[in-house]
Amino acid sequence: MSTENEGAAVPSEAKPPTGPQPDSASASGAQTPGAPPAPGARPAAPPPPDFAPTVPPAPGGFDEPGPMPPAYGAGHPRQPGYGHPGDDPAAEQTSQFPTYSAAGPGAGAGGWGQQPPYGGGGDPWGTTTGSPAPKRRNGGLIAAVLVAALVAGGVGGGIGFWAAGQNDGASTTVSASGDPGALNRKPTSVSGIAQKALPSVVTIEAQGATGDGGTGTGFIYDKQGHILTNNHVVASAANGGKLTATFSNGKKYNAEVVGNAQGYDVAVIKLKNASGAPLNPLPLGKSSNVQVGDATIAIGAPFGLSGTVTTGIISAKDRPVASSDGGGTSASYMSALQTDASINPGNSGGPLMDAGGNVIGINSAIQSAGNGGGMGGESQQSGSIGLGFAIPIDQARRVAQDLIKSGKPVYPQIGVQVGMRDTGNGATIAKTGNNGSEAVTPNGPADKAGLKPGDTITKLDDTVVDSGPTLISEIWQHKPGDEVTLTYKRAGKEHTTHVTLGQRTGDK
């Protein structure tokens, strides 16, 4: 995802139960000419098209999970031909799944093939304008067209010369009325929201002690100078690196990392000297109230182009997404908001806003078409293909509060280790954990609820669970102490149990 942090190594996989594994599973609008005009005659103007194309408006707590695969939304079909850049080729599974690349520097390549406008060459409207001429008259047709063109050109040139002679020195341009009200720049318009939000969005430059780093985005969280962003944006500068935040007015301030959560891909930084900085926090909305189809506005610095505003809609909710942080072995999991607003490398950490100007998510990841084979064999090109993902602000707000309070993240957990590569049938608790540990933590929440190694968790409350990453992303939407209902299968029979979530403090 916008975790432009692909290719990172991942922990060894917990062993799931042995058993059978799933198998791996141009339109042309060329114009046809009508009967040719007589030689020397000026051709009649073609009739206007019946339509014109409209222009769209401007724009869990799990102990050391196994190798991190790309995740899927429950009930969504799998697409073949995707691999994860961080996977060992020698350990390639029989099934390929889509991966998500970071929306910041270092995102995977991808892109769409070029298509001719409106269905092909010829008539720009993609329609035919007459019946086909007999083949035997092709030569005559070409000659007639040439003669007609010469005649029309001569007439046009003559008229143009006469008009110029009669209006020597006169201008033929038309000036706009200049009415600002006609541009709809009301406070509730995209322009109005952007003008208000841009001063509170910063471009973050992070540089590690070894010189590595990149550019991302953040936004003002409170009047004390705290800025909310992604962990993968600032990870390189978290330990002795250099961090700066540049406002839309061009002023740059040094900053430091207050706390970062690798699993959530959330970080909080703070200006070292906020004197004179425009500390106007952006209003935080409620991601739980978001509906598919709602308008969205994304602000960030794609490819270093600060203050870029793009628009779109919410394409889907609760999309389970797994991505690496680019600087270590830990994976990030989110039950993301999916948007088609253009998000590119450098947008990471920026706000995803609703039509009221409220932050509903933190832009964090993108799917690049070129990852693992791409879609339809298009050329390798990194950038937005309309599949962007944001961390819901309800979750990000809770994480930010923990980071500001203690500098460490707090994760809810059930105390099991599950297989991370098997998808489609649920999250199966491993027979044995990593490094010989127990797959079900003794006296942990899952153990108290009666779960055992080999059980396959298929639902959390009303959400279908199709994989380990899906289970983690759903659990991490909650907080420690919440009670959830788990549906699981054991020996072919379905069972239900209630689990009170425990907690783990800090990343490991």
For the chain, how many residues are written? 508
Hey, is 502 helix, strand or coil? strand
CA atoms within 13 A on the CB side of 180: 4
CA distances from residue 269 to 197, 234, 330 in whole angstroms, order as listed: 19, 8, 20
- Determine which one of 200, 232, 323, 382 is catalytic: 232
- Determine which one of 2, 95, 324, 348 is catalytic: 348
* Cα–Cα distance for residue pair 130/46, rounded to 1 Å: 10
Backbone angles phi, psi at 271, to 5 degrees: -70, 135
> Is 265 one of the annotated active-site residues of the chain?
yes
Hey, is 427 helix, strand or coil? strand
Single out the residue of 487, 493, 332, 472 nearest to residue 416, CA to CA.
472
Please report which residue ranges of 315-439 form alpha helices under DSSP H: 393-406
* Cα–Cα distance for residue pair 468/457, rounded to 1 Å: 9
8-state DSSP, 432:
B
> Is 348 one of the annotated active-site residues of the chain?
yes
Interstrand relation of 502-505 and 493-500 (parallel, antiparallel or unpaired): unpaired
- Determine which one of 63, 87, 265, 340 is catalytic: 265
Round the CA-based radius of gyration of the chain to a whole number and report it.
29
Name 335's Cβ contacts closer than 8 Å, sequence gap at least 6. 318, 319, 320, 321, 392, 395, 473, 474, 476, 477
CA dihedral 123, 128, 133, 139 (to 10 degrees): 0
Please report which residue ranges of 302-437 form alpha helices under DSSP H: 393-406
Catalytic residues: 232, 265, 348
